[in-house]
C-alpha cells in the first residue's frame, strides 16, 4: 500500500493553479460536469444533502457522473450524522446506570459515538470534494476558460 497523501484530482490542481503537465496522466478519463441522479434507495435526508451539495459542486464545476458513488457515501454519512445528533438532542448526552456497588454512573448515549464517527467520515469525504475551509483554501476558482492549464496557456500565447 502506498504511503503519503492521497492524489489530488487534476480538476482541483487546475483550479488551484498547481497543475504540472509532467505530473499529469495524459490519458486520464474526463467526464462532463454533471450531477448524477441519486439512487432510489437513498434516504430522504441524504437526498436533501444530495441536492444541496450537488448544487455547490456543480457551481464549482467539480461534479461528474463518476462522482456518484462518492456522493452517495457522503450524503448517507451526513444523514447518519444528522439522525444521531437529533437522537442526542432528544435523549440528552448521557444516561444513568447503576453499578454493581449500587453507585449511579453516567454514560454517554450510544448516539454520541455514532454522531462522532459519522462526523469524522463526513469531514474526510467533504475534503475529497474540496468542501471544507482547509481543502477549499487550496483551490482557486478561475472561472470558465478553454480548459488549458496556465502553463499550456502561456505556451499557446507564445506561439501566436
pLDDT digits (tens, 9 = 90+) for 116-141: 999 999 999 999 888 988 887 666 55
CB 53 within 8 A of CB 74: yes
Which H or E run contains 96? strand 94-98
Each residue of 45-98: pLDDT tens digit?
999 999 999 999 998 888 888 899 999 999 999 999 999 999 999 999 999 999
Q: What is the pTM of this model?
A: 0.70
Residue-level pLDDT at 142: 47
Burial 63-84 (b: 16+ CB within 10 A, else e): bbeebbeebbbbbbbbbbbbbb
pLDDT over 90, % of the chain: 50
Which H or E run contains 108? strand 104-108
Q: Cα–Cα–Cα angle for 7, 12, 13, nearest 5°? A: 75
Amino acid at each position: 500500500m502506498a504511503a503519503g497523501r492521497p492524489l489530488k484530482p487534476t480538476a482541483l490542481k487546475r483550479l488551484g493553479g498547481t497543475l504540472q503537465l509532467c505530473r499529469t496522466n495524459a490519458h486520464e478519463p474526463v467526464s462532463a460536469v454533471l450531477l448524477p441522479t441519486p439512487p432510489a434507495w437513498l434516504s430522504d435526508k441524504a437526498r436533501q444533502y444530495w441536492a444541496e451539495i450537488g448544487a455547490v459542486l456543480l457551481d464549482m464545476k467539480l461534479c461528474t457522473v463518476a462522482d456518484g458513488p462518492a456522493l452517495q457515501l457522503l450524503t448517507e454519512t451526513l444523514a447518519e450524522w444528522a439522525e444521531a445528533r437529533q437522537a442526542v438532542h432528544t435523549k440528552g448526552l448521557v444516561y444513568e446506570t447503576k453499578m454493581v456497588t449500587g453507585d449511579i454512573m453516567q454514560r454517554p448515549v450510544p448516539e454520541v459515538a455514532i454522531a462522532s464517527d459519522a462526523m469524522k467520515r463526513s469531514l474526510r469525504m467533504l475534503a475529497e470534494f474540496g468542501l471544507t475551509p482547509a481543502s477549499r483554501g487550496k483551490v482557486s476558482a478561475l472561472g470558465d476558460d478553454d480548459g488549458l492549464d496556465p502553463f499550456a496557456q502561456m505556451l499557446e500565447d507564445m506561439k501566436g
